[in-house]
Amino acid sequence: MELKIARSEHPGKPRKIDLKKINDMVEKEESVILYFDRDNSHKDLLELQDKFESMGKSFYMREVRYGLSDSEYMYEVHIL
């Protein structure tokens, strides 16, 4: 599974990250906060949540709005 990390610049393209890299980050630091791009499907993020919760981790996700437009948001994910 590949997900898109939030854009660092408005006209830029989002970078991709795979499940293995996310898992390595969680194992190394035990607590990770990630920001995912709006181009990710909500279904994929819920699948990510299921995978980490099945491993006994806590997973919190919310939408973060950074502008007035409906398309100006990203997903904030906390994995503990």
| Structural domain contains residue 78 | yes
| Structural domain contains residue 10 | no
| Structural domain contains residue 13 | no
State the residue range of the domain holding 60.
27-80
Q: Which two tokens stand for residue 38?
A: 């709006």
Cα of 11 vs its chain's centroid, Å: 20
Cα–Cα distance measured from residue 73 to residue 80, given in angstroms and rounded to the nearest whole number: 23
Cα of first residue to Cα of last residue in the chain, in angstroms, is 20
Number of domains in the chain: 1
Cα–Cα distance measured from residue 36 to residue 19, given in angstroms and rounded to the nearest whole number: 13
| Structural domain contains residue 42 | yes
Check residue 11 and give its pLDDT: 78
Check residue 19 and give its pLDDT: 94
Judge whether 79 and 52 are in contact, CB under 8 Å.
Answer: yes
| Structural domain contains residue 19 | no
Cα–Cα distance measured from residue 54 to residue 76, given in angstroms and rounded to the nearest whole number: 20
| Structural domain contains residue 45 | yes
Q: pLDDT 10s per residue in the chain (80 long)?
A: 899 999 888 777 899 999 999 999 999 998 999 999 999 999 999 999 999 999 999 999 999 998 888 888 999 999 99
Would you say the pTM of this structure is higher than 0.85? yes
